[in-house]
Amino acid sequence: MSEIKKNLKYTEEHEWVMIDGEQMLIGITDHAQDSLGEIVYLELPSVGDNLSKSSTFGAVESTKSVSDLYTPIDCEVVEVNSGAESSPEVINQSPYQEGWLIKVKPTNTGDYDDLLSPEDYESLINEK
C-alpha cells in the first residue's frame, strides 16, 4: 500500500504539492516511485523557468520506463533539488522528504485548490 500524506495535495499524474511558506514543493508520489521501479535519471527545469499548469517540467527515468513530470500549478522555479538530480535513487527511498524535485513560487494560487485531496488521490490509485 502506497503512503499518502494527509498534508499534501495531489495530481492525477502522481505529483504531490506541499505549501512551504509562500512557496511550494513538488515531487512524485510514493505510488509513482513504486510503479516506476528503480529511478536512474532525473531531468529537471532551471531556476527562473516559468511553468504553466499541466505542462511538462522534466522527466524521470527508471529501469522500466521514462515518464514525463507535469506541472500541477502555474509557477516560477525558485530551487531545484540538485541532490535528487545527482542521486535520483533518493526518490525511491524518500519521495516526500529528501526526494522532492522542485521548489516553486505559485503565480496562480487558485490552482492549488483544484488539486486532489489525499482521499481523492487514494480513490484514484485504488481504481487502477
- SS3 of residue 77 by DSSP: strand
Q: What is the pLDDT of residues 31-42, one digit of tens each?
A: 999 999 999 999
Q: Is the confidence at residue 73, as pLDDT, over 90?
A: yes
How, if at all, do strands 39-43 and 50-51 pair?
A: unpaired
Note whether 116 and 52 are within 8 A (CB): no
List Cβ neighbours of 3 (8 Å cut-off, separation of 6 or more). 30, 96
Residues 1-28 have pLDDT tens digits of: 789 999 999 999 999 999 999 999 999 9
Q: Which domains does the chain have, with CATH numbers?
A: 21-108 (2.40.50.100)
| pTM of the predicted protein model | 0.96
CA distance 113 to 105: 15
